[in-house]
Structure 1
Amino acid sequence: MQLITRDSANRQRLAELDDLLQPVEIPTSASAYLDKIHFTRLSERFKGAFDLARLFLLGQSVHLLAGAQQAWAFVLDMNQLFEAFVTSLLQSNRIRIIPPQWKETVIETQGGRVPKYLARPNYSNAKPFSQIKPDILIKRGSTPFLIIDAKNKVLSHQPVYASIAEDDLYQMVAYATRLRCPNVLLLYPRAKNTNVIPFFLDVELSPIRIYVATLNLHQPLDKLDGIIGEFRDILGYVHRHMNMTEETLWRAD
């Protein structure tokens, strides 16, 4: 797995796991050995993990048949996975993805190193609350000029903008207002057999412009040229339509 993954954090974790598991030997007759393991009331809570590991060790899979049966699941948070994929794709292929006009920019993730909050109570010595963590900030110096947020949701309705959850729009307006950044990109995985052309929404009575685009994940991801090209085209579209007004739009901190 260390040879497959491109993510440096994953390689580090896999290397650490490899070191931890070096002393472990898998018996040649693993099935017979595993059959001897029994669980008590004290160890019963580990049985689910044990049964899942057994499937991996024996190269088995769950067969769904009629009637009641017990199975074990390995669940991933697809929202976090899509966000991490988009972030890693941009960071690892920055030169190939960002427009040439942005070559001097800085890319920050999860809102940057300094925590940022949405609101502050009007009490004496009250601390701000409701931390905001946009997936990606693209900045010139210390000022963000584009917020990118990845959403693992399907845009399926026609017109496409009707698929966008209102909560996501409210969230993007909050990000843009707090960070004084009028340009926001909402990035979604593309539904199979669809083709969503990038578009933008102008927020009423506001300089905020919300771009909407999709990435096609229905392609071999071990060869990234196609999806890198798509991401580059999306950011090129954003650059051409970007709201770069020089008016004083936001109150200073």
Structure 2
Amino acid sequence: MSKTLDLNADMGESFGSWTKGDDAALLDVVSSANVACGFHAGDWDVMADTMAKALANGVGIGAHPGFPDLHGFGRQRMSFSHASLARLVQYQLGAAQAMVKAAGGRLRHLKLHGALANMCSEDEAMARACYEAALAVEPDLIIMVLAGTAQQRAAEALGCKMACEIFADRAYNDDATLVDRSLPGAVIHDADYAATRIADMVEAGAIIAESGHKIPTQIDTICLHGDTAGAINIAKSVRAELERRGVRIQPL
């Protein structure tokens, strides 16, 4: 298999004296970092530190906006008008732009977080409101979408730069949405299984749901969640297996 892919991870999700994940170790493995913007996680110091480390490692930087939900880590569903949702995304994008510019870099992409992302994977109009808002601020942003969902349809309708994402450590439903985290098996912790599974998807050019159903899709980037137990082992195993099968890893 001869293919070029991006490996991304959600990071910068610590807050004050509270630490979430091992960003420094992940930045040795991934090629893109989705940095929390202070609403579901992160703060100004964490953002600055994460971005500086990413730039030092040659890792691409993206904004990772979510709902204003520190208590629930952005995984609690919330209701906003599309106008308010647009400003919510723009506010966080602006923070990310300022912080990465101060660190001497540039913002490459945007990826929605948690419940906001899940809701937009089901609701094309909601996804479009978020993406239009981001592109109004930065037209050249790459919009990272959940492959095969309403997120992808919204980005395609806008004709913007787009990267289709699949997940190494999450199980899939037959409609390409993610299995709810409250259900058994929704989060994958076995590094060897995650690596084989994701490489098989890349070779097949399809998401493979838990039922075995294959959903053909464009695949540009693979997500490795930094807060998953065993995240570093999963990340290393996934990268090693992809490279063993001839995949070259590089930023978006």
Q: Do these two structures clear the TM 0.5 threshold for a shared fold by scoring above it?
A: no
Of structures 1 and 2, the one with the larger relative CO (CA 8 A, separation 6+) is: 2
Q: Report TM bin, short chain.
A: 0.3 to 0.5
Normalised by the length of structure 2, the TM-score is 0.34
Indicate the structure (1 or 2) with the bigger Cα radius of gyration: 1
TM score, norm. by length of structure 1:
0.34
